Structure 1
Amino acid sequence: MMKKIFAQLAEIENLKPFSHKKAPEISEASIGWHLEHSLLVISRILEGLPLSHPEKYQPKFSWAKFMVMTSGYIPRKKGKAPKFTIPTNENFLENIDNYLNSVRENLQMIKNLPSQSYIEHPYFGHLDVKQTLKFLKIHTQHHLKIARDILAKSH
């Protein structure tokens, strides 16, 4: 799972020069917004994992969680991003570089966490480390696909 996430980070880095590109018929947001949002989500989640109390981990069933985690697919325009994962300015290039560096460091750190360290997802409830990594991969793939579609449309 980690290999895939690192590959996605490399793709984010490769898409960075196209941050200004937009295709309103695909998304109101630019490629840069999708890249930075993806990195913000990864960053915030990785910051939260070590703060959890593994002994309080309580998984629960959710249809949304089951569908996304099983299919690996997030439908477009169905979820609402929490405020703390929404890019706040248009300085995408600098922000993306900063987040890429910190995310790469933080990914190394979670290798040493107890497996029942968790995050509280707004739709899925508690996600342990393994589920969290899977969600990050799925979520990042969702936004990379949108970014690729914008790039294809804007040529």
Structure 2
Amino acid sequence: MIILGLDPSLTCTGWGVIRVEGSRLSHIANGQIKTNAKTPMAERLAVLLNGIAEVIAAHGPDRAACEEVFVNENAKSTLKLAQARGAVLSACGAAGLTVNEHAARLVKKATVGTGAADKAQVAAMIKVLLPGVQLAGSDAADALAVAIADAHLSPRS
């Protein structure tokens, strides 16, 4: 099974693709899709949608996994995150992928062992779980963590 993990953000959406064979995990690819803050919102969302559509076309995942939305103290930031998630999830839906959603604390607990892990701890554990992986950045590491958590938390299908 091939799982696409997603860490949506309007500024930089991370993605990671892993293969799951029994209890064995292997890295396929990872990356980040960045948008320009000076570009109109509709264009930024189109960049995310098209970028994820390209990842799906290139790697043919069987399903996707995404971090659940969390509410920031800043309502404007929460709204921007929700819009980015909408673009990313739309790309998955258009490709016919099932998308499992997981809370960020659960993803961290499943990969690092503590729900309070920081980005550096997540990246370090990804390098342990996927030996030889070259991370495109911290958002890509987070996306791989989502994929790994999904492999452990969701039923195989």
TM norm. shorter chain > 0.5:
no
Using the size of structure 1 for normalisation, the TM-score is 0.24
Using the size of structure 2 for normalisation, the TM-score is 0.24
Larger Rg belongs to: 1
Q: Which has the higher contact order (CA 8 A, sep 6+)?
A: 1
Higher strand share: 2
Higher helix share: 1
